[in-house]
Amino acid sequence: MRKKLFFIAVTVLTVQACFAQTPVSLIIDGSNPKTIISRHIYGHFSEHLGRCIYDGYWVTDSMNVPKKDRIRLDIVEALKKIKVPNLRWPGGCFADEYHWRDGIGPRNQRPHMVNTNWGGVSEDNSFGTHEFLELCELIGCEPYIAGNVGSGTVEEMAKWVEYLNSDAQSTMTEIRKQNGRDKPWRVKFWGVGNESWGCGGNMTADFYADQYKRYATYARNYHDAPLYRIASGANSSDYNWTDVLMKNAGTRMWGLTLHHYTLPTGNWGRKGSATSFDEKEYFNTMRNCLIMEELVTRHSTIMDKYDPAKRVALVVDEWGVWTEVEPGTNPGFLYQQNSLRDALVAGTTLNIFNNHCERVRMANLAQTINVLQALVLTRGNQMLLTPTYHVFDLYKVHQDAKWLPVNFNSPDYVIEDRKIPAVNISASQDTATGAVHISFVNLDPNKKISFRSNLIGIKWQTVTGQILTSKKLTDVNSFENPNNVRITPFTGARKEGNELIVDLPPQSVVVLELKYVPN
């Protein structure tokens, strides 16, 4: 019996030794932080698509929820909590068939239109320019308006800018005043078209570069309202588009966009389910998500060739997970559930943006409510916050903070004969308090990963943390169980001498806060 017990004990110790891991060495350099992580990296995108606007933000008079006019205020409060810095509207593909004058004036006199891009539904234009800008004021965010280049005219865009931003006496400003707004809004961010290589007009890069210069010329700066003009940039790895735009129009833009979606299967014909997937498909999803690192790096390198001072921002104004719609829903509405997997994609992508913040200075998750990788899902007067929402809640500490370089060699997450880095990290220092925040994402669903950190030039005494994880990668928040995946306190970090020790659980997003309180 003793021999048997001894054999069991040795076997257990041997197994434990096989799974024991030497802590990963992590260096965080806080000696001379200069670059700021723009809060606008944490922006969002709300298109006239499915139930994002109508039955999302904008509800019926009879719906029994708190509202201002018809703007749903529980959604507003949720977005205020995560400090949404900007909101992109009205599209997307919808922007290049939207004619802004149809959405102003008395609502009962506004023309109806067919949304030919998304579901062929009829819209009554009751949510237009004034309603959108009131929504932004309620949230406390900056509006980012995408102008119509595909089916619009130069004059139409020029008049919209005048209507929004001019304080001079003119026909446009008089119409604005008649519609209830005396002072201009002074909208700063202005997109000159959307996906002009595709649904925005199927243009070539050379043709669009000329169109951009033409439209941008007549989108004027008005008193105290300089425009940040944003050109329609590349589809994923179309590096030629970036080269042509930077060469031909780079001196005339504030930003250049990039669009990239994470497809679980990598196949637009069969994108995969939002809730039903195995570990192999999860691995594929994360591998496809990590392509963003290569895209941002290579597009930035091309931009550096024409703009070494990094004056032009890379604006990733459409990103996120795109799966098949939920069974039984309108295919044109792009309604999908949101799992722990989505949260891991969000944390990873935001870490990439943070670590490229010299060039990436704006980004917009697609989309805010009831569409694609949404922050909020609604059903009648019910509302829930998705796992992705909670990542933005955790990461809001990075907004306008000083970026801190991180250096480490990630262990691999291996499945069969394929591997990806298991961990990604970003760090920043709060400009007001000096507190340091470190964001960890462990993509490996099977292994805990430990870190021993050397913090250069950082004074700290205490460490606290929060974690987002769940038992299964497929776990979601439902209307029956809206708090299934939620933020909880994290106790796996400690101070040993001058070192930070972190034990990072599998499939988790962790944000730490390090503080120093002088005597």
The enclosing domain of 341 has a CATH number of 3.20.20.80
Across the chain, mean pLDDT equals: 95
* Residue carrying structure tokens 């959307």: 194
- Domain ranges, residue 343: 39-399
User: In 3-state terms, what secondary structure has residue 288?
Assistant: helix
Determine contact, residues 335/329, Cβ cutoff 8 Å: yes
Contact 154, 163 (CB under 8 A): no
**Which of 399, 415, 436 represents a domain boundary (last residue)?**
399
CA gap 315, 241 in Å, rounded: 14
Same domain, 362 and 426: no
Q: For residues 191 and 107, state if they share a domain.
A: yes
Note whether residue 431 is domain-resident.
Answer: yes
Helix (H, G, I), strand (E, B) or coil at 7: helix
Q: pLDDT, tens digit, for every residue of 360-403?
A: 999 999 999 999 999 999 999 999 999 999 999 999 999 999 99
Contact present, 26 and 67 (Cβ < 8 Å): no
Residue (of 159, 100, 94, 172) closest to 132 by Cα position: 100
Residue 390 is assigned to a structural domain of this protein: yes
Amino acid at 51: R
Same domain, residue pair 290 and 435:
no
Instruction: Judge whether 511 and 397 are in contact, CB under 8 Å.
Output: yes
Distance of alpha carbon 226 from alpha carbon 361, whole angstroms = 18
Residue type, 298: R
**H or E element, residue 464:** strand 462-468
279/285 Cα distance (integer angstroms): 10
Q: What are phi and psi of 235, to 5 degrees?
A: -90, 105
How far out from the chain centre does Cα 28 lie?
25
Residue 14 lies in a domain: no
Q: Mark whether 318 and 227 lie in a shared domain.
A: yes
Residue showing tokens 């091309």: 302
pTM for this predicted structure = 0.94
Tokens of 395: 């990461």
Q: Of residues 318, 324, 326, 358, which has the active-site annotation?
A: 318
**pLDDT at 20 exceeding the cut of 80:** no
Average pLDDT in the 7-33 region?
Answer: 64
Q: Nearest Cα to 196, choosing from 255, 156, 153, 149?
A: 149
Which residues make Cβ contacts (< 8 Å) with residue 299, sequence separation at least 6?
Answer: 233, 234, 239, 242, 258, 314
Q: What is the pLDDT of residue 498?
A: 87
Considering the domain architecture, whether residues 73 and 207 belong to the same structural domain is answered as yes
389 shares a domain with 452? no
Which of 439, 414, 402 lies closest to 424 in space, CA to CA? 439
Per-residue pLDDT band at 518 (split at 50, 70, 90)? confident
Q: Do 233 and 176 share a structural domain?
A: yes
Q: Report which DSSP code applies to 410.
A: P
Span 490-516, average pLDDT = 96
pLDDT in tens, 245-292: 999 999 999 999 999 999 999 999 999 999 999 999 999 999 999 999
Q: Which residue has the tokens 């606008």?
A: 40
Do 376 and 423 lie in one domain? The reply is no
The pLDDT score that the predictor gives to residue 2 is 41
Number of domain units in the chain: 2
Query: CA-CA-CA-CA torsion for 456, 357, 394, 476, nearest 10 degrees?
Result: -130
**Active-site hit among 156, 195, 480, 496:** 195
| Domain end position, chosen among 346, 365, 399 | 399
Q: Which residue type, as a one-letter code, is found at position 291?
A: I
Looking at residues 52-57, what average pLDDT do you find? 98
Flag whether 3 is in a domain.
no
Task: Please enumerate in sequence order all residues whose Cβ is within 8 A of that of 413, keeping only pairs 6 or more positions apart, or say none.
Answer: 283, 286, 419, 420, 421, 422, 443, 444, 447
**Cβ count near 349 (within 10 Å):** 28
Catalytic, 47? Answer no
Among residues 399, 425, 449, which one ends one of the domains?
A: 399
E strand or H helix at 287:
helix 279-289
Total number of residues shown for the chain: 519
- How many C-beta neighbours within 10 Å does residue 499 have? 14
Contact (CB, 8 A) for 281 and 311: no
pLDDT at 517: 80
What integer is the mean pLDDT of 61-82?
97
* Catalytic residue status for 195: yes
Given its phi and psi angles, is residue 450 left (phi above 0), alpha (psi -120 to 50 degrees) or beta?
beta
Average pLDDT over residues 98-124: 95
* pLDDT band of 22, cuts 50, 70, 90: confident
Cβ atoms within 10 A of the Cβ of 179, count? 14
Q: Between 58 and 21, where is the model more confident? A: 58
| CATH label of the domain that carries residue 414 | 2.60.40.1180
Give the residue-averaged pLDDT of 85-99: 97
Q: Is the pLDDT of residue 1 over 80?
A: no
Task: Let me know: does 166 contact 222? Beta carbons within 8 Å.
Answer: yes
* Per-residue burial over 443-460, b = 16 or more CB atoms within 10 Å of its CB, e = otherwise: bbbebebebebebeebeb
Do 341 and 309 belong to one domain? yes
**With bands split at pLDDT 50, 70 and 90, how would you rate the model's confidence at 519?**
low
Q: Three-state DSSP class for 411?
A: coil
Domain assignment of residue 12, yes or no = no
12 pLDDT exceeds 70? no
Q: Which residues of 218-288 form beta strands (DSSP E)?
A: 228-235, 255-262
Q: Do 415 and 291 share a structural domain? A: no
Distance separating alpha carbons of residues 88 and 241, to the nearest angstrom: 22
Position 9 in a domain: no
Statement to judge: residues 156 and 304 lie in one domain = yes
Q: What is the pLDDT of residues 464-486, one digit of tens each?
A: 999 999 999 999 999 999 999 99
One domain, residues 149 and 223: yes
Indicate whether 5 belongs to any domain.
no
d(CA 81, CA 73): 12
